[in-house]
Structure 1
Amino acid sequence: MPKDSHGHLVAGRVGPQRLVPRSIPRPEYVGKKSPTPYRGNDVYSAEQIQRIRESSIIAARAIEAVGAHIRPGVTTDELDRVGHEFLVDHEAYPSTLGYRGYPKSLCSSVNEVICHGIPDDTVLEDGDIINIDITAFHDGMHGDTNRTFVVGNATREARDLVERTEEALRRGVKAVAPGRELNVIGRAIESYAKRFGYGVVRDFTGHGVGEAFHSGLIVPHYDAAPEYSTVMQPGMVFTIEPMLTAGDITWDMWADDWTVTTKDKSLTAQFEHTLVVTERGAEVLTLP
């Protein structure tokens, strides 16, 4: 695994982009510098929600397929191959591939990487934790999910962080209800995380998803200011994806303009679901 003299991750060698059959439709941003600004709504019809559900299930199953290959000695680029092949085998386009120039079909964020780690020749070691983030574009809709895995035998600190981050996501989902403001989600997440002294990353958030990969709707994971007062309503679709750290929440960006790490190099974990607001609460769409 590429590391510096202090044992911290450094960038590895990134292989070529993987090919997607021409028969699979691309999102509109592929081949462009940036996506066209989204002018649509975050509230969808039943027919549209079913299409988002189908994309979300593909993404969730792709993460399961990748997870079956996570072990000491495997490279993150090999995991990208597994995820990529699963998506294209199911007639889905890997949403990250070509998004604002991103070169790979999933994000693989190891140990102190908060998010957006680029798969490369990094070799996983026993005791690592790794987040796999996959978004599938199918039938005109994106479905977005991620999960953190423990590689081999990790420390109790690492296992606790992973388990509690997943619980933080569950608590965020439980806070969803029509008529409530979006900021209640972050309040539920941060109040739980604080019990263990964890940091809650603020600068990377959940988002509206569906026709657009990122619609512009922001879903904070911390006890946010009143300006995040959008009222949830049935049919609204967005992600919740808390990033918790064992240390500080300040971060550094690598020269690749994607990889974000904790400044103090503390461990960090993340979990994500795409969900739709229902009449009584929320339905998680990214279940395999």
Structure 2
Amino acid sequence: MKKYRGIFVKNDAEIEIMRKAGGIVAEILDELEKAVRPGVKTMAFENLALQMCEDFKVRPAFKGYLGYPFALCCSVNEEVVHGFPSERELKEGDIVSFDMGVVYNGFYGDSARTIPVGEVSPDVARLLDVTEKSLYAGIEMARAEANLYDISLAVQKYVESQGYFVVRRFVGHGIGRSLHEKPEVPNFVPSGAGVVALKPGMTLAIEPMVTVGGPEVEILADKWTAVTKDRSLAAHFEHTVVITNDGPKILSRRPEA
């Protein structure tokens, strides 16, 4: 593994390990999504995620990370990220975000998605659609020799053009042997942003967090769960990608995808 301006650049063998890690995360998220329905307690998703980590013989990336107590981040409605699984029951019309990571052969995989619970209103469905499309708008710009902040600009422009807001307190990140590596990948262009050239072999976790009512968030008493300050709905989608000479490649998909 080499570095370019403080950013780790992975070789083909390391990228392949990360592809396997990401594939496992995708399979776990697929099973979690299948289990979403009204009446399910969110702790059931934690138990399923733990069981699947055991089955795949991988370590859950988040459990114990900086003291986080669960394998899964499970955020409902106005919860943006880092929500705790609990005895809370999902209700028809809710949305639930799953953020999951694993460690496989020393490398991290990380991905997130937001799922509707039963039937949701057209406005809620649109929030999810816009957030997911903003992720792919960002991924499209993750190209060799492009500027890192081209990703940020693509996400921000798309989200704001649709009348929504990007959360600024939390950002995407480099990923590899550590869950959070350089560089940070904001979903907006920070003031004074310069040029950070993207190079083949860089691996990034791109993760727009989008809200209906405004970008401000606050942290609940558990010191982890981030909610929208105005308690409006929020959605979250994330993929781990690698920069290649042939464009961005998503690592957090099922092997057959």
Classify the TM-score, shorter chain: over 0.9
TM-score (norm 1): 0.85
TM-score (norm 2): 0.95
Per the TM alignment, residue 88 of structure 1 is displaced from its structure 2 partner at its CA by 1.5
**Structure 1 gap segments, 5+ residues each:** 1-39
Match of 1:253 among 195, 211, 219: 219
SS of structure 2 residue aligned to 1:159? helix
Matches of 1:214 and 1:106, distance apart in 2? 16
CA contact (8 A) 2:8 2:182 kept: no
SS of structure 1 residue aligned to 2:240? strand
Q: Compare the two structures and name the one with the higher helix fraction.
A: 2
Per the TM alignment, residue 242 of structure 1 is displaced from its structure 2 partner at its CA by 0.2
Per the TM alignment, residue 157 of structure 1 is displaced from its structure 2 partner at its CA by 1.0
Distance 1:107 1:282, change over 3 A: same
Match of 1:141 among 90, 96, 107: 107
Match of 2:35 among 69, 83, 86: 69
What is aligned with 1:18? none
Per the TM alignment, residue 41 of structure 1 is displaced from its structure 2 partner at its CA by 4.4
Matches of 1:225 and 1:180, distance apart in 2? 19
What is aligned with 2:158? 192
SS of structure 2 residue aligned to 1:224? coil
Quote the sequence identity (%): 35
SS of structure 2 residue aligned to 1:132? strand
Matches of 1:172 and 1:224, distance apart in 2? 15
The runs of 4+ residues in structure 1 deviating greater than 6 Å are none
**Structure 2 gap segments, 5+ residues each:** 1-5
What is aligned with 2:79? 113
Match of 1:155 among 121, 128, 131: 121
CA contact (8 A) 2:215 2:228 kept: yes
What is aligned with 2:240? 274
What is aligned with 1:284? 250
Distance 1:41 1:183, change over 3 A: closer
Task: Tell me how many residue pairs correspond in the alignment.
Answer: 250
Q: Compare the two structures and name the one with the higher strand fraction.
A: 2
SS of structure 2 residue aligned to 1:257? coil
